[in-house]
Structure 1
Amino acid sequence: MEQNNETSGGDFILLGFSDQPQLEAILFVVILTSSLLTLLGNTAIILVSCLDSKLHTPMYFFLTNLSFLDLCLATSIVPQLFTVPQMLVNLRGPEKTISYGGCVAQLYISLALGSTECILLAIMAFDRYAAICKPLRYPVIMNQRRCIYMATGTWISGFANSLVQSTLTVLTPRCGQRVMDHFFCEVPALLKLACTDTHVNEAELNVLGALLLLVPLFLILGTYVFIARAVMRIRSAESRWKAFNTCASHLLVVSLFYFTAISMYVQPPSSYSRDRGKIMALFYGIVTPTLNPFIYTLRNKDVKAALRRALTKEFWVRTR
Protein backbone atom coordinates (compact mmCIF):
# COMPACT_ATOMS: atom_id res chain seq x y z
CA MET A 1 0.00 0.00 0.00
CA GLU A 2 2.82 2.38 0.79
CA GLN A 3 4.37 1.88 -2.64
CA ASN A 4 1.01 2.48 -4.26
CA ASN A 5 0.58 5.76 -2.39
CA GLU A 6 4.05 6.83 -3.42
CA THR A 7 3.33 6.48 -7.08
CA SER A 8 -0.39 7.00 -7.56
CA GLY A 9 -2.04 8.67 -4.59
CA GLY A 10 -3.19 12.21 -3.92
CA ASP A 11 -3.59 15.37 -5.92
CA PHE A 12 -0.70 17.24 -7.46
CA ILE A 13 -0.10 20.88 -6.55
CA LEU A 14 0.75 22.99 -9.60
CA LEU A 15 2.72 26.05 -8.56
CA GLY A 16 2.59 27.67 -11.98
CA PHE A 17 3.45 31.35 -11.59
CA SER A 18 2.15 31.67 -8.02
CA ASP A 19 5.27 33.61 -7.04
CA GLN A 20 4.26 36.28 -9.58
CA PRO A 21 0.54 37.06 -9.04
CA GLN A 22 0.61 40.02 -11.44
CA LEU A 23 1.87 37.74 -14.21
CA GLU A 24 -0.87 35.21 -13.45
CA ALA A 25 -3.55 37.85 -14.07
CA ILE A 26 -1.99 38.75 -17.43
CA LEU A 27 -1.60 35.08 -18.39
CA PHE A 28 -5.23 34.39 -17.59
CA VAL A 29 -6.32 36.97 -20.19
CA VAL A 30 -3.69 35.89 -22.73
CA ILE A 31 -4.50 32.17 -22.43
CA LEU A 32 -8.25 32.73 -22.59
CA THR A 33 -7.87 34.95 -25.69
CA SER A 34 -5.46 32.50 -27.35
CA SER A 35 -7.84 29.63 -26.66
CA LEU A 36 -10.75 31.43 -28.29
CA LEU A 37 -8.60 32.34 -31.31
CA THR A 38 -7.44 28.71 -31.57
CA LEU A 39 -11.02 27.47 -31.54
CA LEU A 40 -12.08 30.07 -34.12
CA GLY A 41 -9.12 29.72 -36.49
CA ASN A 42 -8.81 25.94 -36.55
CA THR A 43 -12.56 25.36 -36.67
CA ALA A 44 -12.82 27.73 -39.65
CA ILE A 45 -10.09 25.83 -41.54
CA ILE A 46 -11.72 22.46 -40.80
CA LEU A 47 -15.13 23.68 -41.95
CA VAL A 48 -14.01 25.30 -45.22
CA SER A 49 -11.72 22.37 -46.06
CA CYS A 50 -14.59 19.92 -45.60
CA LEU A 51 -17.33 21.98 -47.24
CA ASP A 52 -15.51 23.64 -50.15
CA SER A 53 -15.01 21.14 -52.98
CA LYS A 54 -12.03 23.13 -54.32
CA LEU A 55 -10.10 22.20 -51.17
CA HIS A 56 -10.73 18.45 -51.44
CA THR A 57 -7.07 17.71 -52.14
CA PRO A 58 -4.39 15.80 -50.17
CA MET A 59 -2.75 19.05 -49.01
CA TYR A 60 -5.93 20.32 -47.37
CA PHE A 61 -6.84 16.88 -46.07
CA PHE A 62 -3.61 16.89 -44.04
CA LEU A 63 -4.11 20.54 -43.12
CA THR A 64 -7.52 19.59 -41.70
CA ASN A 65 -5.81 16.89 -39.62
CA LEU A 66 -3.29 19.47 -38.37
CA SER A 67 -6.04 21.93 -37.45
CA PHE A 68 -8.00 19.26 -35.58
CA LEU A 69 -4.83 18.18 -33.81
CA ASP A 70 -3.98 21.77 -32.77
CA LEU A 71 -7.55 22.22 -31.59
CA CYS A 72 -7.21 19.15 -29.36
CA LEU A 73 -3.70 20.09 -28.20
CA ALA A 74 -4.77 23.53 -27.01
CA THR A 75 -7.95 22.35 -25.32
CA SER A 76 -6.20 19.46 -23.55
CA ILE A 77 -4.20 22.04 -21.58
CA VAL A 78 -6.24 25.23 -21.76
CA PRO A 79 -10.00 25.94 -21.84
CA GLN A 80 -12.39 23.38 -23.23
CA LEU A 81 -15.44 24.82 -24.89
CA PHE A 82 -18.03 24.02 -22.20
CA THR A 83 -15.80 22.99 -19.28
CA VAL A 84 -14.22 25.12 -16.55
CA PRO A 85 -10.53 24.53 -17.35
CA GLN A 86 -8.02 23.38 -14.81
CA MET A 87 -5.41 25.82 -15.95
CA LEU A 88 -7.52 28.95 -15.72
CA VAL A 89 -8.89 27.87 -12.35
CA ASN A 90 -5.32 27.58 -11.10
CA LEU A 91 -4.44 31.02 -12.47
CA ARG A 92 -7.45 32.74 -10.92
CA GLY A 93 -7.36 31.46 -7.35
CA PRO A 94 -5.26 29.96 -4.57
CA GLU A 95 -6.53 26.42 -5.33
CA LYS A 96 -3.80 25.02 -7.58
CA THR A 97 -4.33 21.28 -7.65
CA ILE A 98 -5.02 18.57 -10.19
CA SER A 99 -6.05 15.00 -9.42
CA TYR A 100 -3.66 12.13 -10.11
CA GLY A 101 -5.99 10.76 -12.81
CA GLY A 102 -6.38 14.19 -14.38
CA CYS A 103 -2.62 14.66 -14.42
CA VAL A 104 -2.00 11.29 -16.08
CA ALA A 105 -4.74 11.94 -18.66
CA GLN A 106 -3.33 15.40 -19.40
CA LEU A 107 0.19 13.99 -19.77
CA TYR A 108 -0.95 11.18 -22.08
CA ILE A 109 -3.15 13.32 -24.32
CA SER A 110 -0.70 16.20 -24.73
CA LEU A 111 2.17 13.78 -25.47
CA ALA A 112 0.02 11.82 -27.93
CA LEU A 113 -1.05 14.93 -29.83
CA GLY A 114 2.47 16.33 -29.89
CA SER A 115 3.87 12.99 -31.12
CA THR A 116 1.22 12.85 -33.83
CA GLU A 117 2.06 16.36 -34.99
CA CYS A 118 5.75 15.42 -35.39
CA ILE A 119 4.86 12.68 -37.86
CA LEU A 120 2.08 14.65 -39.55
CA LEU A 121 4.42 17.55 -40.39
CA ALA A 122 6.79 15.08 -42.08
CA ILE A 123 3.91 13.63 -44.12
CA MET A 124 2.85 17.13 -45.16
CA ALA A 125 6.42 17.76 -46.37
CA PHE A 126 6.28 14.54 -48.41
CA ASP A 127 2.99 15.70 -49.92
CA ARG A 128 4.64 18.96 -51.04
CA TYR A 129 7.58 16.95 -52.43
CA ALA A 130 5.24 14.75 -54.49
CA ALA A 131 3.28 17.78 -55.75
CA ILE A 132 6.35 19.78 -56.83
CA CYS A 133 8.89 17.10 -57.79
CA LYS A 134 6.50 14.48 -59.23
CA PRO A 135 3.55 16.55 -60.55
CA LEU A 136 2.47 14.06 -63.25
CA ARG A 137 2.42 11.13 -60.80
CA TYR A 138 1.03 13.15 -57.88
CA PRO A 139 -2.61 11.92 -58.20
CA VAL A 140 -1.36 8.32 -58.13
CA ILE A 141 1.18 8.79 -55.31
CA MET A 142 -1.23 10.71 -53.08
CA ASN A 143 -4.48 8.93 -53.85
CA GLN A 144 -7.36 9.10 -51.38
CA ARG A 145 -6.86 5.64 -49.89
CA ARG A 146 -3.14 6.21 -49.29
CA CYS A 147 -3.80 9.59 -47.66
CA ILE A 148 -6.30 7.99 -45.27
CA TYR A 149 -3.85 5.19 -44.42
CA MET A 150 -1.04 7.69 -43.81
CA ALA A 151 -3.21 9.89 -41.58
CA THR A 152 -4.51 6.88 -39.62
CA GLY A 153 -1.00 5.51 -39.14
CA THR A 154 0.16 8.92 -37.93
CA TRP A 155 -2.49 9.10 -35.20
CA ILE A 156 -1.93 5.48 -34.10
CA SER A 157 1.88 5.98 -33.94
CA GLY A 158 1.52 9.18 -31.92
CA PHE A 159 -0.78 7.63 -29.32
CA ALA A 160 1.36 4.46 -29.10
CA ASN A 161 4.50 6.52 -28.45
CA SER A 162 2.68 8.50 -25.79
CA LEU A 163 1.58 5.30 -24.05
CA VAL A 164 5.23 4.22 -23.68
CA GLN A 165 6.56 7.62 -22.57
CA SER A 166 3.67 8.29 -20.18
CA THR A 167 4.00 4.86 -18.58
CA LEU A 168 7.75 5.28 -18.04
CA THR A 169 7.10 8.68 -16.49
CA VAL A 170 4.21 7.94 -14.12
CA LEU A 171 5.77 4.71 -12.78
CA THR A 172 8.81 6.59 -11.47
CA PRO A 173 8.66 6.58 -7.60
CA ARG A 174 8.00 10.03 -6.12
CA CYS A 175 8.03 9.15 -2.38
CA GLY A 176 5.01 11.34 -1.72
CA GLN A 177 6.29 14.44 -3.54
CA ARG A 178 3.29 16.23 -5.04
CA VAL A 179 4.38 19.85 -5.58
CA MET A 180 5.07 20.42 -9.29
CA ASP A 181 6.71 23.67 -10.35
CA HIS A 182 4.67 23.98 -13.52
CA PHE A 183 1.16 24.85 -14.64
CA PHE A 184 0.33 21.51 -16.28
CA CYS A 185 1.59 17.92 -16.21
CA GLU A 186 4.50 17.19 -18.54
CA VAL A 187 7.41 14.73 -18.58
CA PRO A 188 10.34 16.88 -17.35
CA ALA A 189 8.31 18.43 -14.51
CA LEU A 190 7.08 15.01 -13.30
CA LEU A 191 10.56 13.47 -13.44
CA LYS A 192 11.83 16.30 -11.25
CA LEU A 193 9.63 14.86 -8.47
CA ALA A 194 11.37 11.47 -8.59
CA CYS A 195 13.09 10.35 -5.39
CA THR A 196 15.32 7.80 -7.17
CA ASP A 197 18.02 8.01 -9.80
CA THR A 198 16.28 8.81 -13.10
CA HIS A 199 19.24 8.54 -15.48
CA VAL A 200 17.87 5.33 -17.02
CA ASN A 201 14.44 6.90 -17.45
CA GLU A 202 16.02 10.01 -18.92
CA ALA A 203 18.08 7.95 -21.37
CA GLU A 204 15.03 5.94 -22.51
CA LEU A 205 12.86 9.04 -22.87
CA ASN A 206 15.60 10.96 -24.68
CA VAL A 207 16.06 8.10 -27.17
CA LEU A 208 12.32 7.99 -27.82
CA GLY A 209 12.13 11.77 -28.00
CA ALA A 210 15.08 11.99 -30.38
CA LEU A 211 13.63 9.30 -32.65
CA LEU A 212 10.24 10.96 -32.74
CA LEU A 213 11.48 14.53 -33.11
CA LEU A 214 14.76 14.33 -34.98
CA VAL A 215 13.99 11.57 -37.50
CA PRO A 216 10.91 13.39 -38.92
CA LEU A 217 12.83 16.69 -38.79
CA PHE A 218 15.71 15.26 -40.85
CA LEU A 219 13.19 13.77 -43.30
CA ILE A 220 11.54 17.20 -43.63
CA LEU A 221 14.87 18.94 -44.21
CA GLY A 222 15.94 16.31 -46.74
CA THR A 223 12.62 16.58 -48.54
CA TYR A 224 12.97 20.35 -48.83
CA VAL A 225 16.44 19.98 -50.33
CA PHE A 226 14.84 18.07 -53.22
CA ILE A 227 11.99 20.60 -53.38
CA ALA A 228 14.46 23.53 -53.54
CA ARG A 229 16.33 21.87 -56.40
CA ALA A 230 13.09 21.28 -58.31
CA VAL A 231 11.90 24.86 -57.73
CA MET A 232 15.19 26.34 -58.97
CA ARG A 233 14.76 24.43 -62.24
CA ILE A 234 11.37 26.07 -62.89
CA ARG A 235 11.85 28.73 -65.57
CA SER A 236 8.81 30.84 -64.84
CA ALA A 237 9.39 33.30 -61.96
CA GLU A 238 5.65 33.26 -61.19
CA SER A 239 5.57 29.46 -60.94
CA ARG A 240 8.68 29.47 -58.76
CA TRP A 241 7.11 31.99 -56.40
CA LYS A 242 3.86 29.98 -56.24
CA ALA A 243 5.77 26.80 -55.36
CA PHE A 244 7.85 28.62 -52.75
CA ASN A 245 4.77 30.26 -51.21
CA THR A 246 3.03 26.90 -50.94
CA CYS A 247 5.93 25.52 -48.88
CA ALA A 248 6.67 28.66 -46.82
CA SER A 249 3.66 28.24 -44.52
CA HIS A 250 4.56 24.64 -43.77
CA LEU A 251 8.21 25.53 -43.09
CA LEU A 252 7.18 28.29 -40.68
CA VAL A 253 4.89 25.90 -38.77
CA VAL A 254 7.68 23.28 -38.67
CA SER A 255 10.12 25.86 -37.29
CA LEU A 256 7.75 26.97 -34.52
CA PHE A 257 6.82 23.44 -33.51
CA TYR A 258 10.26 21.81 -33.56
CA PHE A 259 12.07 24.69 -31.87
CA THR A 260 9.80 24.50 -28.83
CA ALA A 261 9.46 20.68 -28.79
CA ILE A 262 13.22 20.06 -28.97
CA SER A 263 13.84 22.71 -26.29
CA MET A 264 11.39 20.89 -24.00
CA TYR A 265 12.07 17.22 -24.57
CA VAL A 266 15.53 16.59 -26.06
CA GLN A 267 17.43 17.38 -22.87
CA PRO A 268 18.02 15.63 -19.54
CA PRO A 269 15.21 16.55 -17.10
CA SER A 270 17.92 16.89 -14.43
CA SER A 271 19.16 19.98 -16.29
CA TYR A 272 15.61 21.22 -16.85
CA SER A 273 15.30 24.98 -16.44
CA ARG A 274 12.19 25.90 -14.46
CA ASP A 275 11.47 29.24 -16.17
CA ARG A 276 12.51 28.17 -19.66
CA GLY A 277 10.34 25.05 -19.37
CA LYS A 278 7.29 27.12 -18.57
CA ILE A 279 7.91 29.56 -21.42
CA MET A 280 8.49 26.75 -23.92
CA ALA A 281 5.36 24.98 -22.68
CA LEU A 282 3.32 28.12 -23.32
CA PHE A 283 4.59 28.25 -26.89
CA TYR A 284 4.17 24.53 -27.46
CA GLY A 285 0.66 24.16 -26.05
CA ILE A 286 -0.88 27.60 -26.57
CA VAL A 287 0.93 29.99 -28.91
CA THR A 288 1.74 27.52 -31.72
CA PRO A 289 -1.82 26.11 -32.09
CA THR A 290 -3.10 29.70 -32.14
CA LEU A 291 -0.66 30.88 -34.82
CA ASN A 292 -0.89 27.87 -37.15
CA PRO A 293 -4.30 28.62 -38.72
CA PHE A 294 -3.38 32.27 -39.25
CA ILE A 295 -0.05 31.31 -40.85
CA TYR A 296 -1.89 29.13 -43.35
CA THR A 297 -4.77 31.54 -44.05
CA LEU A 298 -2.68 34.71 -44.34
CA ARG A 299 -0.19 33.12 -46.76
CA ASN A 300 -2.52 30.83 -48.70
CA LYS A 301 -4.68 32.29 -51.47
CA ASP A 302 -6.83 29.14 -51.78
CA VAL A 303 -7.77 29.16 -48.09
CA LYS A 304 -8.48 32.90 -48.11
CA ALA A 305 -10.66 32.51 -51.22
CA ALA A 306 -12.50 29.59 -49.58
CA LEU A 307 -13.11 31.65 -46.44
CA ARG A 308 -14.51 34.49 -48.55
CA ARG A 309 -16.80 32.05 -50.37
CA ALA A 310 -17.89 30.61 -47.02
CA LEU A 311 -19.16 34.05 -46.01
CA THR A 312 -21.49 34.25 -49.00
CA LYS A 313 -25.07 33.02 -49.03
CA GLU A 314 -24.56 31.16 -52.33
CA PHE A 315 -21.88 28.93 -50.81
CA TRP A 316 -24.20 27.60 -48.12
CA VAL A 317 -27.01 27.08 -50.66
CA ARG A 318 -24.65 24.91 -52.79
CA THR A 319 -23.48 22.83 -49.81
CA ARG A 320 -26.97 21.81 -48.71
Structure 2
Amino acid sequence: MKFLTGLSAFPITPSDADGHVDVGALRRLIAPLCAAGVHSIGVLGTTGSFPYLSRVERRRALDAALEEASGRAPILVGVGALRTDEAVRLAQDAKAAGAAAGLLAPVSYTPLTEDEVFEHFATVARESGLPLCVYDNPSTTHFRFSPALVGRLSRLAGIVALKGPAPEPPAVTAHLADLRGVVPDRLSLGYSGDRNAVEALLAGADTWYSVVAGLFPDISMSLVRAAQRGDAVEARRLNASLEPLWAVFKEYSSLRVIYACANLLGICHAEPPRPILHLSGTARQRVADALKISNLI
Protein backbone atom coordinates (compact mmCIF):
# COMPACT_ATOMS: atom_id res chain seq x y z
CA MET A 1 0.00 0.00 0.00
CA LYS A 2 1.35 3.42 -0.92
CA PHE A 3 2.15 5.68 1.98
CA LEU A 4 1.16 9.11 0.61
CA THR A 5 -1.83 9.58 -1.67
CA GLY A 6 -4.57 12.12 -2.37
CA LEU A 7 -4.21 15.67 -1.07
CA SER A 8 -1.27 16.78 1.04
CA ALA A 9 -1.89 20.33 2.31
CA PHE A 10 1.04 22.63 3.08
CA PRO A 11 0.34 25.58 5.40
CA ILE A 12 2.68 28.44 6.20
CA THR A 13 4.49 28.47 9.53
CA PRO A 14 3.32 31.70 11.21
CA SER A 15 6.16 33.41 13.04
CA ASP A 16 7.40 36.84 14.04
CA ALA A 17 10.26 38.83 12.52
CA ASP A 18 12.74 36.97 14.75
CA GLY A 19 11.64 33.53 13.54
CA HIS A 20 9.70 32.63 16.71
CA VAL A 21 6.83 30.35 15.69
CA ASP A 22 3.30 31.35 16.66
CA VAL A 23 2.09 27.89 17.62
CA GLY A 24 -1.46 29.12 18.28
CA ALA A 25 -1.77 30.50 14.78
CA LEU A 26 -0.27 27.33 13.32
CA ARG A 27 -2.84 25.25 15.16
CA ARG A 28 -5.60 27.48 13.74
CA LEU A 29 -4.28 26.68 10.27
CA ILE A 30 -4.05 22.94 10.92
CA ALA A 31 -7.56 22.53 12.38
CA PRO A 32 -9.55 23.28 9.18
CA LEU A 33 -7.26 21.00 7.17
CA CYS A 34 -8.19 18.10 9.44
CA ALA A 35 -11.86 19.07 9.32
CA ALA A 36 -11.79 19.07 5.52
CA GLY A 37 -10.38 15.55 5.49
CA VAL A 38 -7.05 16.20 3.75
CA HIS A 39 -5.08 13.00 3.38
CA SER A 40 -1.88 14.40 4.91
CA ILE A 41 -0.45 17.69 6.14
CA GLY A 42 2.99 18.94 5.16
CA VAL A 43 4.56 21.20 7.76
CA LEU A 44 7.89 22.96 7.34
CA GLY A 45 7.94 22.56 3.60
CA THR A 46 9.01 25.40 1.33
CA THR A 47 5.71 27.14 2.09
CA GLY A 48 6.44 26.44 5.75
CA SER A 49 9.79 28.26 5.51
CA PHE A 50 11.89 25.36 6.80
CA PRO A 51 15.30 26.80 5.81
CA TYR A 52 14.67 29.97 7.82
CA LEU A 53 13.85 28.37 11.17
CA SER A 54 16.12 27.02 13.90
CA ARG A 55 16.03 23.42 15.03
CA VAL A 56 14.24 24.48 18.23
CA GLU A 57 11.55 26.41 16.35
CA ARG A 58 11.09 23.63 13.85
CA ARG A 59 10.46 21.19 16.70
CA ARG A 60 7.96 23.62 18.29
CA ALA A 61 6.09 23.85 14.99
CA LEU A 62 6.06 20.08 14.52
CA ASP A 63 4.85 19.42 18.05
CA ALA A 64 2.00 21.93 17.63
CA ALA A 65 0.96 20.39 14.31
CA LEU A 66 1.00 16.87 15.75
CA GLU A 67 -1.03 17.92 18.77
CA GLU A 68 -3.63 19.70 16.64
CA ALA A 69 -3.90 16.92 14.08
CA SER A 70 -4.10 14.35 16.89
CA GLY A 71 -4.05 11.40 14.50
CA ARG A 72 -6.68 12.81 12.15
CA ALA A 73 -4.12 13.32 9.38
CA PRO A 74 -0.54 12.07 9.10
CA ILE A 75 2.10 14.78 9.37
CA LEU A 76 4.84 15.03 6.76
CA VAL A 77 7.63 17.34 7.96
CA GLY A 78 10.51 19.07 6.20
CA VAL A 79 13.90 17.85 7.44
CA GLY A 80 16.13 19.50 4.85
CA ALA A 81 19.36 21.19 5.92
CA LEU A 82 22.67 22.25 4.42
CA ARG A 83 24.67 19.59 6.25
CA THR A 84 23.90 15.87 6.22
CA ASP A 85 24.50 15.53 9.96
CA GLU A 86 22.04 18.36 10.62
CA ALA A 87 19.41 16.74 8.39
CA VAL A 88 19.94 13.48 10.30
CA ARG A 89 19.29 15.24 13.61
CA LEU A 90 16.16 16.92 12.25
CA ALA A 91 14.88 13.59 10.93
CA GLN A 92 15.61 11.96 14.29
CA ASP A 93 13.67 14.76 15.99
CA ALA A 94 10.75 14.18 13.62
CA LYS A 95 10.71 10.44 14.24
CA ALA A 96 10.87 10.92 18.02
CA ALA A 97 8.00 13.41 17.90
CA GLY A 98 5.77 11.06 15.91
CA ALA A 99 5.85 12.46 12.38
CA ALA A 100 4.69 10.01 9.72
CA ALA A 101 7.45 10.90 7.25
CA GLY A 102 10.15 13.42 6.46
CA LEU A 103 10.33 15.63 3.39
CA LEU A 104 13.98 15.86 2.38
CA ALA A 105 15.30 18.36 -0.17
CA PRO A 106 18.97 18.44 -1.21
CA VAL A 107 19.62 21.91 0.18
CA SER A 108 23.12 23.13 -0.69
CA TYR A 109 25.17 26.25 -1.34
CA THR A 110 27.62 24.38 -3.56
CA PRO A 111 25.95 22.55 -6.48
CA LEU A 112 25.68 18.84 -5.74
CA THR A 113 26.38 15.79 -7.89
CA GLU A 114 23.98 12.87 -8.16
CA ASP A 115 26.31 10.68 -6.10
CA GLU A 116 26.43 13.31 -3.35
CA VAL A 117 22.64 13.56 -3.26
CA PHE A 118 22.31 9.78 -3.18
CA GLU A 119 24.69 9.51 -0.20
CA HIS A 120 22.89 12.36 1.56
CA PHE A 121 19.54 10.58 1.31
CA ALA A 122 20.98 7.17 2.13
CA THR A 123 22.60 8.52 5.30
CA VAL A 124 19.52 10.37 6.54
CA ALA A 125 17.27 7.37 5.87
CA ARG A 126 19.64 4.91 7.53
CA GLU A 127 20.55 6.94 10.60
CA SER A 128 17.11 8.35 11.36
CA GLY A 129 14.80 5.43 10.57
CA LEU A 130 12.21 7.98 9.42
CA PRO A 131 10.34 7.23 6.17
CA LEU A 132 11.39 9.85 3.62
CA CYS A 133 9.73 11.63 0.73
CA VAL A 134 12.25 12.77 -1.88
CA TYR A 135 11.67 16.48 -2.47
CA ASP A 136 12.59 17.64 -5.96
CA ASN A 137 12.31 21.44 -6.02
CA PRO A 138 14.88 22.74 -8.52
CA SER A 139 13.59 26.32 -8.36
CA THR A 140 14.93 26.59 -4.80
CA THR A 141 17.66 23.94 -4.54
CA HIS A 142 18.98 24.33 -8.12
CA PHE A 143 19.26 20.55 -8.30
CA ARG A 144 16.99 18.45 -10.51
CA PHE A 145 16.48 14.74 -9.92
CA SER A 146 16.92 12.61 -13.02
CA PRO A 147 14.72 9.52 -13.44
CA ALA A 148 17.87 7.44 -13.01
CA LEU A 149 18.60 9.00 -9.62
CA VAL A 150 14.98 8.63 -8.53
CA GLY A 151 15.24 4.95 -9.48
CA ARG A 152 18.40 4.50 -7.38
CA LEU A 153 16.86 6.25 -4.39
CA SER A 154 13.60 4.30 -4.65
CA ARG A 155 15.49 1.11 -3.84
CA LEU A 156 16.73 2.42 -0.52
CA ALA A 157 14.93 1.21 2.57
CA GLY A 158 12.88 4.08 3.95
CA ILE A 159 12.31 6.03 0.70
CA VAL A 160 8.53 6.00 0.32
CA ALA A 161 7.53 8.86 -1.99
CA LEU A 162 8.58 11.51 -4.50
CA LYS A 163 7.34 15.09 -4.52
CA GLY A 164 8.33 16.89 -7.71
CA PRO A 165 7.24 19.89 -9.76
CA ALA A 166 4.36 19.19 -12.12
CA PRO A 167 5.43 19.67 -15.75
CA GLU A 168 3.28 21.56 -18.21
CA PRO A 169 0.13 19.58 -19.15
CA PRO A 170 1.33 18.25 -22.54
CA ALA A 171 4.36 16.63 -20.86
CA VAL A 172 2.86 15.23 -17.68
CA THR A 173 1.74 11.82 -18.97
CA ALA A 174 5.16 11.01 -20.42
CA HIS A 175 6.93 12.35 -17.32
CA LEU A 176 4.84 10.16 -15.03
CA ALA A 177 5.39 7.13 -17.27
CA ASP A 178 9.17 7.68 -17.20
CA LEU A 179 9.09 7.69 -13.40
CA ARG A 180 6.80 4.66 -13.17
CA GLY A 181 9.29 2.81 -15.30
CA VAL A 182 12.16 3.16 -12.83
CA VAL A 183 10.53 2.88 -9.38
CA PRO A 184 8.80 0.03 -7.53
CA ASP A 185 5.02 0.04 -7.36
CA ARG A 186 5.09 0.85 -3.63
CA LEU A 187 6.62 4.30 -4.23
CA SER A 188 4.11 7.15 -4.22
CA LEU A 189 4.60 9.61 -7.07
CA GLY A 190 3.20 13.07 -6.45
CA TYR A 191 3.44 16.59 -7.77
CA SER A 192 3.58 20.14 -6.50
CA GLY A 193 3.09 23.27 -8.57
CA ASP A 194 -0.58 23.93 -7.99
CA ARG A 195 -1.45 25.31 -11.42
CA ASN A 196 -0.54 22.10 -13.25
CA ALA A 197 -1.45 19.59 -10.53
CA VAL A 198 -4.94 18.83 -11.88
CA GLU A 199 -3.52 17.37 -15.09
CA ALA A 200 -1.01 15.34 -13.10
CA LEU A 201 -3.83 13.87 -11.01
CA LEU A 202 -5.89 13.09 -14.09
CA ALA A 203 -2.84 11.38 -15.61
CA GLY A 204 -2.65 9.07 -12.58
CA ALA A 205 -0.33 10.77 -10.09
CA ASP A 206 -0.79 9.50 -6.54
CA THR A 207 -0.58 12.78 -4.64
CA TRP A 208 -1.06 16.53 -4.98
CA TYR A 209 1.28 18.42 -2.63
CA SER A 210 -0.58 21.70 -2.46
CA VAL A 211 0.19 25.23 -1.29
CA VAL A 212 -3.35 26.50 -1.87
CA ALA A 213 -4.81 23.62 0.16
CA GLY A 214 -2.95 24.96 3.20
CA LEU A 215 -5.49 27.81 3.32
CA PHE A 216 -8.32 26.55 1.12
CA PRO A 217 -8.70 22.83 1.77
CA ASP A 218 -12.36 22.47 0.79
CA ILE A 219 -12.07 23.45 -2.87
CA SER A 220 -8.78 21.55 -3.06
CA MET A 221 -10.43 18.39 -1.74
CA SER A 222 -13.29 18.82 -4.23
CA LEU A 223 -10.77 19.02 -7.05
CA VAL A 224 -8.93 15.89 -5.86
CA ARG A 225 -12.14 13.92 -5.44
CA ALA A 226 -13.26 14.87 -8.95
CA ALA A 227 -9.92 13.75 -10.38
CA GLN A 228 -9.96 10.51 -8.41
CA ARG A 229 -13.38 9.55 -9.76
CA GLY A 230 -12.28 10.41 -13.31
CA ASP A 231 -14.47 13.50 -13.66
CA ALA A 232 -12.05 15.54 -15.76
CA VAL A 233 -14.65 18.18 -16.63
CA GLU A 234 -15.36 19.03 -12.99
CA ALA A 235 -11.69 18.84 -11.96
CA ARG A 236 -10.71 21.24 -14.74
CA ARG A 237 -13.64 23.54 -13.96
CA LEU A 238 -12.51 23.84 -10.34
CA ASN A 239 -8.93 24.40 -11.45
CA ALA A 240 -10.05 27.12 -13.88
CA SER A 241 -11.91 28.88 -11.06
CA LEU A 242 -8.55 29.23 -9.30
CA GLU A 243 -6.77 30.65 -12.36
CA PRO A 244 -6.67 34.21 -10.92
CA LEU A 245 -4.75 32.81 -7.96
CA TRP A 246 -2.42 30.79 -10.20
CA ALA A 247 -1.64 34.01 -12.11
CA VAL A 248 -0.50 35.88 -8.99
CA PHE A 249 1.39 32.77 -7.81
CA LYS A 250 3.34 32.88 -11.05
CA GLU A 251 4.02 36.61 -10.85
CA TYR A 252 4.90 37.02 -7.17
CA SER A 253 5.64 33.41 -6.02
CA SER A 254 3.25 31.18 -4.14
CA LEU A 255 5.05 31.86 -0.84
CA ARG A 256 4.55 35.62 -0.94
CA VAL A 257 0.99 35.27 -2.19
CA ILE A 258 -0.09 32.74 0.42
CA TYR A 259 1.26 34.97 3.22
CA ALA A 260 -0.74 37.83 1.73
CA CYS A 261 -3.84 35.63 1.59
CA ALA A 262 -3.50 34.60 5.24
CA ASN A 263 -3.23 38.22 6.30
CA LEU A 264 -6.01 39.48 4.02
CA LEU A 265 -8.35 36.81 5.37
CA GLY A 266 -7.44 37.65 8.96
CA ILE A 267 -6.43 34.06 9.66
CA CYS A 268 -3.13 35.20 11.13
CA HIS A 269 -0.76 38.14 10.91
CA ALA A 270 2.44 36.32 10.14
CA GLU A 271 5.73 37.81 9.02
CA PRO A 272 7.34 36.15 6.02
CA PRO A 273 10.91 35.12 6.84
CA ARG A 274 13.32 37.96 6.19
CA PRO A 275 14.69 39.02 3.82
CA ILE A 276 11.32 38.21 2.16
CA LEU A 277 8.92 41.12 2.54
CA HIS A 278 5.14 41.41 2.60
CA LEU A 279 3.47 42.19 -0.69
CA SER A 280 2.15 45.73 -0.64
CA GLY A 281 0.45 48.30 -2.84
CA THR A 282 -0.58 47.05 -6.26
CA ALA A 283 0.68 43.51 -5.62
CA ARG A 284 -1.37 43.13 -2.45
CA GLN A 285 -4.44 44.49 -4.21
CA ARG A 286 -3.99 42.03 -7.06
CA VAL A 287 -3.96 39.17 -4.55
CA ALA A 288 -7.15 40.53 -2.95
CA ASP A 289 -8.78 40.77 -6.37
CA ALA A 290 -7.75 37.22 -7.22
CA LEU A 291 -9.34 35.94 -4.02
CA LYS A 292 -12.59 37.73 -4.83
CA ILE A 293 -12.74 36.54 -8.44
CA SER A 294 -12.06 32.97 -7.31
CA ASN A 295 -14.81 33.25 -4.64
CA LEU A 296 -12.30 32.58 -1.86
CA ILE A 297 -13.08 35.75 0.09
Q: Which has the larger radius of gyration?
A: 1
Q: Greater strand share, 1 or 2?
A: 2
- Shorter-chain TM range is under 0.3
Question: Would you tell me which structure has more helix in proportion to its own residues?
Answer: 1
Q: Which gives a bigger RCO, structure 1 or 2 (Cα 8 Å, sep 6+)?
A: 1
